Amino acid sequence: MQALVLTANGCLETQSRPAPTPAPGQVLIRVAFCGVCGSDLPRLFEGHCYRYPLVAGHEMAGTIEAIGDGVDSLAVGDPVAVFPLLWCGQCPSCEWGRYAQCDNYDYLGSRRDGGFAQYVAAPQANCLRVPEGVGLDEAAMTEPAAVALHAVAMGGQGMAGQTVAIWGAGPIGLLAAAWARRMGAGRVCLVDVAAEPLALARKLGFCNTFNPAADDPALFHEMTNQGRGVPLAIEASGSPAGFRQALESVARGGTLIMLGNPSGDLTLPAKLISQAMRREVAIRGTWNSGFSARGNPNDWSAVLQAMAEGALPCRALVSHTLSLAEAPDFLARMHRREVAFTKVLVSGGG
């Protein structure tokens, strides 16, 4: 098979290597598409990698090519989305089904080879059948859509009619906005320092946008309920400035969800900390999503159902689709910010 292999920091090359053989309980998936996550760029180009060589990519969907011994819930030809976290099944978190909190997890695309290849092997328990009518390009966005859903749901009940403000209008931020709208938020506000993602947000129907670098602060004052703040703020940009502004915007008794991967250290003024304490702001972190190996309701099944209903703007977020051969150069240009992009998919050809 062909695979995009990271041989050293910043050294990406398309190689020919043997396709994996599915072990008992595993399936071999012919990768159709694998999304590029914001975490992939520092993994590829900033030394944030567990080992070399590595095939990165954890946002994947494809078609089952072969099955290992003991596989009984999937068949050759089934279209699947793949939950990339490999839980240990032994720790207290796994006993409760909280796989994202597993003490000893492995991970496709970061700790072991993932989806930037023509084939990948995964446990059958990690594969969800893609509903009819959902394309594999959409299904490859199940992982980021589930992460966004998990973050919005952590904001708690009572969202109906309320204002939700989201910092960062990249794919995760826009998917979080779509979930907030679907879950009944009265107004969804998006904040970003770049004009292009805010323009896309407006195209998707999110009219309340704010650029701190360009817009009148009075607009933000109005968006945040005349300065009283918002019940739920989601920080999806990862920037220290975004976190500070998001924390400043939370209303009394409100919640701030930390969703974006941090781009640098954060120092908060004592006055802001004191204000957050007095307002009894809840600050919650999230990094993944909920998944069930037994078919119970979970973030991943909710995403695929919403995709089947046409409720998520997945295809509208895709700015580029690359072949494996095109990917090394384009990913490097993404890292150097030489090209504008939203969601980038790498095609395995499946």
> Which pLDDT value is given to residue 237?
97
pLDDT band at residue 10 using 50, 70 and 90 as cut-offs: very high
How far lies 169's CA from each of 80, 82, 103, 138, 331, in Å? Answer: 28, 25, 32, 19, 20
Average pLDDT across the chain, whole number: 96
Q: Is the pLDDT of residue 159 over 90?
A: no
Name the CA dihedral angle for 213, 246, 345, 148, rounded to a multiple of 10 degrees. -160
Contact 219, 187 (CB under 8 A): no
> Which pLDDT value is given to residue 339?
96
Q: Is the pLDDT of residue 157 over 80?
A: no
Q: Is the pLDDT of residue 62 over 90?
A: yes
d(Cα 116, Cα 2) in Å, to the nearest integer? 9
Q: Is the pLDDT of residue 211 over 90?
A: yes
Q: pLDDT (tens digit, 9 = 90+) per residue, 271-311? A: 999 999 999 999 999 999 999 998 899 999 999 999 999 99
Q: In the CATH hierarchy, which fold is given to the domain comprising 155-285?
A: Rossmann fold (3.40.50)
Nearest to 57 by CA among 260, 305, 324: 324
How far lies 279's CA from each of 103, 189, 272, 282, in Å? Answer: 34, 21, 10, 9
d(Cα 159, Cα 119) in Å, to the nearest integer? 41
d(Cα 171, Cα 39) in Å, to the nearest integer? 13
Contact 238, 263 (CB under 8 A): yes
Q: Is the pLDDT of residue 15 over 80?
A: yes
The CATH class given to the 2-144+290-347 domain equals: alpha beta
Q: Is the peptide bond before 123 cis (omega within 30 degrees of 0)?
A: no
List b or e across 144-162, with b for residues whose CB sees 16 or more CB atoms inside 10 angstroms. bbbbbbbbbbbbeeebeeb
> Which pLDDT value is given to residue 149?
98
Q: pLDDT (tens digit, 9 = 90+) per residue, 73-92? A: 999 999 999 999 999 999 99
Domain ranges of the chain: 2-144+290-347, 155-285
Work out the average pLDDT over 211-236: 93
Q: pLDDT (tens digit, 9 = 90+) per residue, 27-47? A: 999 999 999 999 999 999 999
In degrees, rounded to 5, the angle at the alpha carbon of residue 340 between the alpha carbons of residues 177 and 149 is 20
Q: pLDDT (tens digit, 9 = 90+) per residue, 238-264? A: 999 999 999 999 999 999 999 999 988
